[in-house]
A and B are shown apart, each in its own frame.
Chain A
Amino acid sequence: MPHPDAAPSEGGLPKAGRLPRRRRRFQAIRQAPLKLLVGAVLLTVLVAVAAAAPWIAPYGFEDMSILKRLKPPSAANWLGTDEFGRDVFSRMLMGARLSLMMGFAATAVSLVIGVPLGLWAGYRRGPVDEIIMRSTDVLLSFPPIMLGLLMLAVTPPSLWKLIIAVGIVYVPSTVRLTRSITLGLAGEEFVQAARARGEKTFYILHAEILPNAWPPIMVEASLRVTFAILLGAALSFIGLGAQPPSSDWGLMISEARPLLDRAPWVALAPGLAMGITVIAVNLLGDGLREALDPRTKRRGG
């Protein structure tokens, strides 16, 4: 029997070194939306820039110029040029397309495969659960980069294969998360009520359980976007992802590696871009989690 009067006393004991009450409350209300806002704005800018890259890039990303090889940042080339005299800034903008697509598409792949499997395993239990979970355990036992390598090494690399490979690498964690949420929800009385009126399993999974499982899955997925970008970059770096001369942050860093001592700006630019993306997505994910978590929501009424 939840007492409305008991709720505010949660978090109970007076904390040491507390701030004045007014200020702490101010922070509690402001924090979650602030993260969400900054993350969302940053990410929107990134996506917009990536989408508009061909039009806002000062040079074509493939335009070589032997005369301008390895020039440091200047007014003409804001972030310098690489060993073929290509404008690093333009290549970085174009690279955003591939990298962002990589991150989001791979996460989508992991959701499309992982969520249904997790729902099914968590709801049906028994042999179905065993088979699905043991298979994902096998996948989990490989280091992610090895698993990606395994899937890509045997066939000629291409972007869509990279996306699917990275997506599959993150299927096991999606399955595990979804399954554990489903396990809890399957015992809830509203699911029992749906069974009592003779609903099919498919309906129960997508109409009763999934809407309640979405918030944690989405938050987790938004954080996974960054991992997917990083893994994609790592695989491109090894040469199994985007192929030259196309532009991808991971590929750019890979190509710039031998030049690090002579022209550090070539690697720095995509590195920074990747860092900003990771921060943006993480802020968004964190903000989402705080905004969707009923425990933090209570404060906001």
Chain B
Amino acid sequence: MSDILLEIENLDLAYDTPRGTLKALDGVGMSIRAGETVAVVGESGSGKSTVALSVMGLLGSEATLSGSIRYQGRELVGMPAEARRLLRGRAIGMVFQDPFTSLNPSLTIGEQVSEPLVFHHGMDKRAALERSIAALGEVGLPDPAALVTVYPHQLSGGMQQRVLIATAIVCDPKVLILDEPTTALDVTVEAQILDLLDRLRRDRGLGMMFITHNLGVVNRIADTVCVLYAGRLIERGAKNAVLGAPAHPYTKGLLASLPKLSDAGRTRRIAPIPGRFPDLTEPPEGCVFADRCPFVEARCREPQALAAIDDGRLVRCWKSDDLPGWPEAAAVARRPGRSRSGTLLRTDRLTKVFRRGKIGGGIEWKRKFGVFPWPETRTEAVNAVDGISLEVGRGEVVGLVGESGSGKSTFGRTVLRLTNPTSGGITLDGDEIADKPEQELGSLRKRAQIVFQNPDSSLNSRRRVGDAIARAVSLHTNVPAHRRREHCEDLLDRVGLPRGYYDRYPHQLSGGEKQRVGIARAIATEPEFIVCDEPVSALDVSVQATVLNLLDDLRDELGLSYLFISHDLSVVAYIADRIAVMYSGRICEVGPTEAVLQPPYHPYTEALLSAVPLPTPGEEFGERVKLRGDRPPSASERTGCPFHTRCPRSLGALCETTPPPVIEPAPGHRIACHLDIGELNSLPPLQIPRTRKAS
């Protein structure tokens, strides 16, 4: 018992809102031992961050907390604010989600890391700085002594997250709370951070509370998993048990609605969780998940207790013992019309160069209009898109994968002429559109559309849902004015929304519903080609599945082609026929989905694949490829292969100076790499049981 660091029991949290009391947490309990990682999993609104804030005592004053939080036997609930403040940072450290906003941009790294030491331990600044340097070294930052004098904007996202972790551990806390620490990071960087956290846990015997929505990350790092839904703890148990054989219907649904790399090739649809999140101001009396549960019975409407099942797991479901698996969605047969017939869109060495102020570049004098001396900030060219030639066939889905900053979104927007290309060609159905003036793009505007990432920003909050759709209909179709409303309602119907949503405003819709409106708006012009720019990245897992299925259906029904942009390989692998992997403005590999996911592949593809955290215990990539650093090449390093600065298989001078040749191991599968085909072939394959394909 003594090694329990943090124990939470029966934690209730209520917020007073104008609409009544909102029960954000109800009877949440967990315990964290030294050296143990407890993952708190849930979708947005599940209350997982609230648990962290309760433990840290950072809740707003409108929250009413009851229950018990004990740190090494000391009760934290009701502790005076001053005593609480002394524990914060010293006993319990916390790392927040977004490294880009968690560091103060006007303080040096040294000041920020050493501040808690000065505050908690009363150290003088010099001693504190020395300890900080040691902590920065411990989190794997290169040259920590020089790092203390730099400012946050000079560091990459991964480095900033390491700095935050260093700040959290510098006072030697026993418990570390991590609130989505890797969500804002790229997969390869995420893998590095997870390795770091695991090492810290082992070296320091830390107890970690790891809050995340990503079941793959849970599988990689957690010992124990707590699944939250609507503020209720619905399942708690050892990681392998919970993820391997989920007992609660919600956990089952969550796992079933994840697109998995092993399912690539779209032999079956992913099974979504239907319905909406309950209103917590009037929570249902019985099981909170009952309205969305496929196994619901009358007894589910009675209050549910957390009960232990065989393997020591706690489950809040009376019938968890004899539940079948989550109902699987019907398998879809590939329709004959699905194979591509002819090229719809083709880009030819498309480039887009941005100029941006060079960090630390200073000011230089230029001549304005050739005469007047004029001070300007020094700029540098950023090759966002650097000579991309890609084809999208009619009725084909091409997935574009890459990390943030790889230029994939810029490419998508340049293809639609939402930004103008710097050079290169774009042809839509044989029609050259790269340098047409805006007024002559009418046909492109009708035939090509876009679906955006952010459901909140993609709809105009001051206009009704129907207006945006109706506008597209009136501009590009010949539906007569008196039939327009009906036509728009048909479109809403088509994307699975009630017809009455025509008159609603965006704030009355949930994220997934807004995304459906965005899709309805895109198909309103009756396009042939849609750029889907991270369409599901901002959505919760269960909602993501329904939107993916919708996009998939629409493609079949309307014969659409997609350029599907995403950072998430599993999502792309699920929906795409072909995948193009982008790094720093260039395509390093392109080919049919099956081929890209198997060797031979580009070393970068290999690194990406091996970094994807897989949610099923036992399914793991053999040996994880470790990339150096986390930054794309700077302008001066852009000779040769753009990946040479991070490539673990770099051949040295050759890769640094000579652009890689394109090799074609199979027709349509192209890899730009100096390694020869034999070496690429011998890269380790993805260690995934591929038995499911047979069924």
Q: Which residues of A contact B (CB under 8 A)?
A: 1-6, 8-15, 18, 21, 24-25, 29, 188-190, 192-199, 207-208, 211-212, 299-301
CB–CB A197/B45 < 8 A: no
- The interface-forming segment of B15-23, B393-401, B642-650 is B15-23
Can you spell out 18 A-B residue pairs with CB atoms less than 8 angstroms apart? A1-B213, A2-B456, A6-B50, A9-B53, A9-B60, A11-B60, A14-B61, A14-B81, A25-B62, A29-B18, A190-B457, A190-B458, A194-B471, A196-B418, A197-B472, A198-B441, A300-B18, A301-B18
Within 8 A of A (CB), among B406-461: 413, 416, 418, 441-442, 445-446, 448-450, 452-454, 456-461
Given contacts A6-B50, A211-B462, 10 further A-B contacts (CB under 8 A): A8-B15, A9-B50, A11-B60, A12-B58, A21-B16, A29-B18, A193-B458, A212-B461, A300-B18, A301-B19
Interface flag for B366 (CB, 8 Å): no
Closest B residue by C-beta to A203:
B471
Closest B residue by C-beta to A24:
B61
The complex places the Cα of A188 from the Cα of B446 at a distance, in Å, of 21
Q: A189-B457, A300-B18 are in contact. Are A199 and B475 (CB under 8 A)?
A: yes
Closest B residue by C-beta to A28:
B62
The complex places the Cα of A122 from the Cα of B468 at a distance, in Å, of 23
CB–CB B59/A9 < 8 A: yes
Please tell me the number of chain B residues within 8 Å of chain A, measured between CB atoms: 54
CB–CB A5/B49 < 8 A: yes
Interface flag for B113 (CB, 8 Å): no
Within 8 A of A (CB), among B59-109: 59-63, 81
Interface flag for B24 (CB, 8 Å): yes
Q: A5-B24, A198-B446, A300-B18 are in contact. Are A10 and B60 (CB under 8 A)?
A: yes
- Contact partners of A299 in chain B: CB under 8 A: 18
CB–CB B61/A15 < 8 A: yes
Closest B residue by C-beta to A210:
B462
- Contact partners of B518 in chain A: CB under 8 A: 193
- Contact partners of B15 in chain A: CB under 8 A: 8
Q: Which residues of B contact A (CB under 8 A)?
A: 15-19, 24, 44-47, 49-50, 53, 58-63, 81, 183, 213, 231, 413, 416, 418, 441-442, 445-446, 448-450, 452-454, 456-463, 468, 471-472, 475-476, 518, 521-522, 525, 538
CB–CB B63/A196 < 8 A: no
CB–CB A25/B16 < 8 A: yes
The complex places the Cα of A43 from the Cα of B446 at a distance, in Å, of 50
The complex places the Cα of A8 from the Cα of B281 at a distance, in Å, of 14
CB–CB A198/B53 < 8 A: no
CB–CB A5/B50 < 8 A: yes
| A200: min CB distance to chain B, Å | 9
The complex places the Cα of A177 from the Cα of B460 at a distance, in Å, of 20
| A228: min CB distance to chain B, Å | 28
CB–CB B49/A6 < 8 A: yes
CB–CB B461/A21 < 8 A: no
CB–CB A192/B49 < 8 A: no
| A187: min CB distance to chain B, Å | 9
The complex places the Cα of A192 from the Cα of B19 at a distance, in Å, of 36
CB–CB B460/A196 < 8 A: no
- Contact partners of B442 in chain A: CB under 8 A: 198
- Contact partners of A195 in chain B: CB under 8 A: 418
| A6: min CB distance to chain B, Å | 5
Closest B residue by C-beta to A6:
B49
- Contact partners of B53 in chain A: CB under 8 A: 6, 9
- Contact partners of A18 in chain B: CB under 8 A: 61
Q: A14-B81, A199-B475 are in contact. Are A21 and B61 (CB under 8 A)?
A: yes
Return the contact of B63 from the options A9, A13, A212 (Cβ within 8 A).
Answer: A9
| A23: min CB distance to chain B, Å | 12
- Contact partners of B47 in chain A: CB under 8 A: 5
- Contact partners of A189 in chain B: CB under 8 A: 452-454, 457-458
CB–CB B61/A192 < 8 A: no
The complex places the Cα of A105 from the Cα of B45 at a distance, in Å, of 49
